[in-house]
Amino acid sequence: MKKGEIYEGIIQKVDFPNKGCIYIEDQKVTVKNGIPGQKIRFIINKKRSGRVEGRLLEVLEKSPLETREPVCSIFPACGGCMYQTMAYEDQLNMKEQQVRELLGQALADSNGDYQWDGIYGSPTEFAYRNKMEFSFGDEYKDGPLSLGLHKKGSTYDVLTARDCKLVHGDMTKILTCVLEYCRTQKLPYYKKMQHIGYLRHLLLRRGVTTGEILVHIITTSQEEHDFTLLKDQLLELPLDGGIVGIMHIINDSLSDVVRSDETKILYGQDYFYENLLGLKFKISTFSFFQPNTLAAEVLYSIVRDYIGDTKDMEVFDLYSGTGTIAQLAAPVAKEVIGVEIVEEAVEAARENAALNGLDNCRFIAGDVLKVLDEVPEKPDVIILDPPRDGIHPKALPKILAYNVDRIIYISCKATSLARDLLAFLQAGYRVEKACCVDQFCSTVHIETVVRLQRKHT
């Protein structure tokens, strides 16, 4: 096989997260963005260390697993939810198989049997996201202004998401209103390569249980514009929920991330409330909160069960976000200490603990790597919920040095989890039980929860 050659083949299986496996004359080729059973045409674009990768050109025949019609107008060009044509049960089966295979490889030599508790689906398959970032751009060069999600495999072309089914209909109404306004006003979008332009993103957050909505229009400072008319139009929209805050965020960062150099409140407040497992959470613009509230309730119920009895115990919640897990563990613990690098999330966690009447939660803003050197308390139980890349290699030895009997690891990227597990196994832990929770229906992502126990205990 040579780079640039074009082949056809059938995807035999899909490895986590979306790596389709095709065999051409006993040579394995990895092609992303496919579904098991599809016959595809692809081009060889990478060859290194015996591995061959291809790029999908065309789906020639649908998979037998594709039993449903697309639910939105921009599928399959949009890379947001690749598996929407598969029955949800088949999605769950595929994701469970992917994670079990990764764990099996990681634990093959030193762990022995462990209890597999299966995969738990989301209570709602669509309209589940409580947060969405949409980008301004165009669908093709010099085309009309678009607002939505990037084309699959592209960092530039943006497809207008007028009927995205991952979000509540309130969000698509707001998106349509903002897009029509910006087109009427002839506002230019920000071009990432030239670093010129005005419109960057539309960030929406909506409480699933409260219906409270935050709207954020994110622009550069290269122009000045009065958004009063847009504010009035948004507030007149017939929504199921209600807008509680509209913000104009200035972001002059060269990187394509949503952040704030300056935030102007055009209406209301910069936070909303959400309820989860009997607790109330105040969530601000950049606070981390699980994007699928109802599936998060499933996830945290399992985590609470895996934690077990913490009576009179010191619990460390590392990578604690807005302190959701810490507050669920607090009622039956001596104290919970949460560590989170995002200061805004820590402030929110402190407010939320006070809101819920919990006085035995303490939240520290800082990098886990550094904070662990400064905290005098010693944990009895550790909860880990790191970002996608997993635990920093230099933080792992510090976590292991506590020699706690029980560790709960929540992972949003199973490959990072499988890598980190090796360090725990070498330090004398074994995986006692594990499961998956699907918070991201129709997408390639899955949450995994593992309970680790020291072998001598």
The DSSP annotation for 259-275 comes to --SEEEEEEE-SEEEEE
21 is catalytic: no
Describe the strand order of the beta sheet including 145-150 as a list of residue ranges. 158-160, 145-150, 131-138, 199-206, 212-219, 242-250, 262-268
Buried b (16+ CB within 10 A) or exposed e, 280-304: ebbbbbbbbbbbbbbbbbbbbebbb
How far apart (Å, rounded) are the C-alpha atoms in residues 183 and 144? 8
SS3 221: coil
How far apart (Å, rounded) are the C-alpha atoms in residues 199 and 2? 42
How far apart (Å, rounded) are the C-alpha atoms in residues 289 and 312? 28
Q: Are 32 and 20 in contact (CB under 8 A)?
A: yes
Q: Are 176 and 238 in contact (CB under 8 A)?
A: no
For 217, half-sphere exposure in the C-beta direction (CA atoms, 13 angstrom radius) is: 25
How far apart (Å, rounded) are the C-alpha atoms in residues 372 and 395? 8
User: In this structure, what DSSP letter does residue 279 have?
Assistant: E
User: In this structure, what DSSP letter does residue 439 have?
Assistant: -
How far apart (Å, rounded) are the C-alpha atoms in residues 291 and 412? 12
Question: Which tokens is 197 given?
Answer: 């332009």
Amino acid, res. 27: Q
**Given 412, 435, 436, 441, the catalytic residue:** 412
Sequence-distant (≥ 6) Cβ neighbours of residue 66 within 8 angstroms: 35, 37, 38, 85, 86
> Length of the chain, please?
457
- Residues tagged active-site: 412
